[in-house]
Each structure stands twice: as C-alpha cells, then as structure tokens.
Amino acid sequence: MTYKRKKTHRGDMHLKKNWQTKRRTKDLDEIDEDLKEENARKLLNQEVDFDKPGAAQYYCVHCARYFIDKTALHTHFNTKVHKRRMKALELEPYSIEDSERAAGKGSYITPQKRKIETMTREDLDINATLTYALKRTYRTLICDVCRRTSLPLNFERDYSSALYISGNKAYKAFAYLSPYLDFDERFANVENLQKNLALRGMDVNVVLLKEAWDFYTKVVADRYALENNNKKLTDCMKTLLKNTEHTAEQQQEVLKLRTQLKIVRQDLKTIKEAIWDLDEDVIEKVLKLPNELDPRTPVGEPVILKSVGNLPEILEKKRSHLDVGTSLDLLEYKNPMCYFLNNDAALFEFAVLAHAGRIFSENNMVKIVGTDFSRSFVVEASGLNHEDPMATFVIENHNEVERDSPNRMHLVGGASLASFLALHTKQLINPKNFPLKYFATGRQYTPSPRDSHICGLFTVCQASVAHSFIVVKDAKSEEYKILFEELLEIVCRLYDDLCDHYRVVMRPASELQSCEEMRVSFEMWSPFMNRYIEIGHVSTYGDYFSKRLLIAYQTSTGREFPTMISGTVLSVPRLLACLLEQNLDKFVIPLKIAEFIP
C-alpha cells in the first residue's frame, strides 16, 4: 500500500498567489480585446479617479497597469516586463471558436502572429486617429505579403542585403549606393520571366512575387503623394506666416493647417516605417531574380561551337596529374587550400600569364592590376550570396568593417569580376570612351564548395588566372555581338598557342549562374577524369551589373546603363593539370610560352 507523500504544500506559495483571485489582473485574451481601437481609446482616456495610481491617467493597455506619471509610464515601456508582454500578445488568443473547431466544428486554423506596437494616449489622440488606422491596415497588408512571398522563395529569415540597405538598418551599415530597380520592366512580361526561371531550374513563384512588387510600388506611390501633400501644406503655412499680423480668420486657417500638417507628417512617418519593413521582404527578394537569358543560350544540351584538333589517343595508362606532377617534381599538392608549383611549373605559370597579357594588349585591351578585397555589396551585386562563406572568402578581422554590419570585406583576388566591378562602381563614364576593354592577370580566390568532389588542381581555392572585362554601350547594338565574337577569337588565339586540342562550348541555361545571360566555355580534355574540363569562360551579362552598381553613361536625353562582357579566360592550375595528364613522361612548355620564361 502506498502512502501519499507528505508535505505536498511546501514551497507552493507562488502557485497559490497565481491561483488567488483577490488581485487578479487581466488575462491575455482580455487584453487583446482591450487593444481594439475603441476600447483602447476608452482605457487611455479614463476619468480622473483618485483611487487609482496617477489618477488613472497613465495606463498601459498591454500590461493592464496604472502608473503614477508620464515618466513612470515611459520608463515602463522600456522594461523587460513590458517587452515580454508585447511578445506574448503577438500570438492570437485562444477563442471559443478555436475550442469549437478543436471539438470538431470546422478544421484547425493556425493562430496568426501579429505585430504589436506600444500604444500611448498620444497615438490615439483624435488628430492621429487616421494614422493609427493607416498603420493597422499597412501592418496587416505587410503580414499578408510576407507570408505569401516568403513561402515560394524560401530564403533564410535573417538574410540581410548589403546592396540594398533599408532605412531602418542604415545605422548599422553605410549605404554607398542604392541599386536601380527595373522590376516594372522585368515583371511586364511575366511569361518570359517564368520561362527563364524554369530553364534555369529555379523554383520561384513569379506571380506572387509580382504581386508583392506591385504592392510595394503602390505603397511607394502613396508615400510620394503624402510627400507632395506635405510640401504643399508647408508652403501654404509659410506664405501665411510671412505676414506678422493675422486676422481672426487667418489665425483659424493657421490652426487648421497645423493640425493637417501634424496628421500628414504622422502618416508619412508611418508609411516610411512600413516601407522599411517591405524593403526587407520585397526588395531583397526581387534582387535575387536572375538575369535575363540571351536568345542564343541553348535550352537543353550544351552546344559545341568549335573544336580544334583531335582528341589525343586514349592512353593505356591513366595517371592523375597529381601523380604525374609529383613524380616530375613539378607539384606539391597538400589540399585545395595549399599547393606549391616547382621548377618548370612555376615558370610556366608566370610565362603563360605574360603571354596572355601580350595577346590581350596586342588587341588593344588595357591591363590593370585590381584590388583583392571587395565589400559585400559588390559581391552581392555580382550575383553571389555574400553571406555564404563558401561563395567567397570572408575576412574576419578587417578593421574598417563595423561590428554586425552586413557589409563585410571579402577576399576575391585582383583578377576577378568583383575587382573590375569595383573599378566602375557608382561611376558615370564618358560616352566617347566606349567600348572599354580591360584585362588583368593575377590571383583569384574561391572557396571550394562544401560537398563538391575534390580533384587536385581542378578544384584549388587559389589560382593564377587571366580575366577579361569589356563594357559596351548598348545591349541591342551589333557592337555588343561583334565585340563578344572578337573576344572569343582572341581567346581562341591564346588557346591555339597553348594546346593542340580544345573546344569551345556554349552552356545551356540550366548551367548558367544567375548573373549570366550567356556563357561560352573553353574546355580541355582530362584523360584521367575521362571528360572535358572548363579551363576558362567568357560570359555576357547585359546591364545586370550596371543597374545594380549604378554604372552609367550620359546620353543626349539622360542616362543609360551600359552592358558588360567578362570572364576568366584562363585558369592556370587547370590548364597545367590537363597538360600534365596528356603527357605523362615529361612536361613540355609550349614553344610560344617559352619565350616569356624569365
């Protein structure tokens, strides 16, 4: 027989206090009722009652508490108790209907989260009634938009853009520029966009995104209207106040204007805040939309544009380039982050870039030595996820990066797209100087993706490369196509000097990066891997970057965004690897390259 444990009522004072109804405070669902506008107004404007603290003039609706004066009330707003209560109120209270649904009448509805803001008497002042109503409608609308857009895109919640910094984050990160948003044009042809996304294999619900964008523009339009209104009223006020003497009628007028101005300014503030919230939800998502597709980009399979030379005979012995390189004392490979080139391989690396430089400068391209670092907003603008440490190397302790700023510093390398974009960011280019043709030879740093297969020099993180960059005025012009073809030819000339067999392949839409319109890659054969490996590529980007980074040129009617062609035309470690695998006995430096050996 078991006995009941004794002393079951020790230490339960806090429970008893909770149960007692002597000084029972309001429950959350009651408070929820109080938050309704008409009830809230009553509670905030109570009759003077000397039995209550502060004569019932300083009441916190959310906590159902009276305070003795205004200071006490406002200090309370900053306390944890109040904030915790605000949080608790976010969730819709359980209702009779809920319980009925639970019992089988109807089906379950998930309780919604709402945004609760501290309410004060001033908020609910008669003048501000409109503001409050406005705020509520925007809040509910935002909730709606958020819920619907966040589902299809499925982005992380704490994502913060470094390229587009919304007003409420400006204190954290300095916004050097705000990108040009052309989504009206993009959304004008939804079908086209949908097709583009489908071809690229991206799963985004364009219709919902378009709705979100339309809603955003509508709110912005409201804001402009309010701004205009504000300006008009201010002007009226100014003219009225110019005269020092006023008739009774004029004074009446001034008072009226003042009230109106007050309302308009309140509204403006509210709408601004609403836009900030929208910025985070809508703009950041639309900025992730991919570039348009070039009509030349193939749909399913890659298209071989050109194939030079013949596939070398299939060797009986297949050895990986690591094996060959190590046995010839050309290579010491430790991991993707660390490898050394010795003897001829080191000389080859230097000479091949010098040779590439010579070919480019013979074709009137200007050499530059770029910067190796780049801020997050440039990285984001170049179509990479700047928050992913596997997309670019992130510097942890750069002294110019403010704490918690989304705009961090990345190591990209001097011969990289970001480095060229940095040169032109927020620049107005003289239209007479077009087309701009640049190249760089140097380092490029890319982390190796987490789950990728590591295969020697093909996936190293630090590589010496040659990179080209061309800016053309108009995407629709013939010049754009001609220059692209020209660049392909130049690169082909370079490859002719390097190897006997290579091919030029146009990549299908599904293999493109989101910033690319079209990509043509130069491939060499790797006997060990038994497949072609991309050694370099040239891509067209349209005005994707120039709109995002405000790169423009002046025209007679205004400003236009130029279009860009760029690409890492040659990656030395990959080239070296293919050459090593193709000749197992010794490494022969191609004749044309040997000239440049120091």
Residues 326-345 that bind another protein (CB under 8 A): 332, 337-343, 345
If one asks whether residue 287 binds another protein (CB under 8 A), the answer comes out as: no
Residues 399-418 that bind another protein (CB under 8 A): 399-400, 409, 411, 414
Cα–Cα distance measured from residue 441 to residue 369, given in angstroms and rounded to the nearest whole number: 8
CB of 551 to another protein, least distance (A): 8
**Which is nearer to another protein, 119 or 219 (by Cβ)?**
219
Using CB under 8 A, which of 174, 308, 583, 588 touches another protein?
174
Any residues with CB less than 8 A from the CB of 155 and at least 6 apart, and which? Answer: 284, 285, 288
88 phi-psi bin (left φ>0, alpha ψ -120 to 50, beta other): alpha
If one asks whether residue 134 binds another protein (CB under 8 A), the answer comes out as: no
If one asks whether residue 571 binds another protein (CB under 8 A), the answer comes out as: no
Cα–Cα distance measured from residue 113 to residue 135, given in angstroms and rounded to the nearest whole number: 16
**Which is nearer to another protein, 436 or 565 (by Cβ)?**
436
CA distances from 526 to 311, 325, 571, 577 (A): 10, 14, 15, 8
Q: Which amino acid is at 116?
A: I
Quick one: which of 383, 380, 378, 376 has its CA closest to 516? 383
**Which is nearer to another protein, 94 or 174 (by Cβ)?**
174
CB of 286 to another protein, least distance (A): 12
If one asks whether residue 180 binds another protein (CB under 8 A), the answer comes out as: yes
If one asks whether residue 240 binds another protein (CB under 8 A), the answer comes out as: no
If one asks whether residue 557 binds another protein (CB under 8 A), the answer comes out as: no
Using CB under 8 A, which of 39, 118, 178, 510 touches another protein?
178
Q: Which amino acid is at 174?
A: F
**Angle separating helix axes 206-242 and 248-278, nearest 10 degrees:** 160
Residue 450 — φ and ψ, nearest 5°?
Answer: -55, -55
Quick one: which of 472, 469, 488 has its CA closest to 567? 469
**Which is nearer to another protein, 94 or 340 (by Cβ)?**
340
If one asks whether residue 441 binds another protein (CB under 8 A), the answer comes out as: yes
Greatest Cα pair distance in the chain: 106
If one asks whether residue 360 binds another protein (CB under 8 A), the answer comes out as: no
**Which is nearer to another protein, 159 or 176 (by Cβ)?**
176
How many residues bind another protein (CB under 8 A)? The answer is: 83
If one asks whether residue 346 binds another protein (CB under 8 A), the answer comes out as: yes
Using CB under 8 A, which of 81, 102, 109, 366 touches another protein?
366
**Which is nearer to another protein, 439 or 522 (by Cβ)?**
439
If one asks whether residue 545 binds another protein (CB under 8 A), the answer comes out as: no
Using CB under 8 A, which of 457, 550, 565, 593 touches another protein?
550
Residues 464-493 that bind another protein (CB under 8 A): 464
Cα–Cα distance measured from residue 564 to residue 291, given in angstroms and rounded to the nearest whole number: 12
Q: 291: burial class by Cβ within 10 Å (0-12, 13-18, 19+)?
A: buried
If one asks whether residue 398 binds another protein (CB under 8 A), the answer comes out as: yes
204 close to 298: Cβ distance less than 8 angstroms? no
Using CB under 8 A, which of 92, 98, 117, 214 touches another protein?
214
516: three-class secondary structure by DSSP: coil
Q: What is the number of other CB atoms lying within 10 angstroms of the CB of residue 293?
A: 21
If one asks whether residue 300 binds another protein (CB under 8 A), the answer comes out as: no
**Which is nearer to another protein, 446 or 540 (by Cβ)?**
446
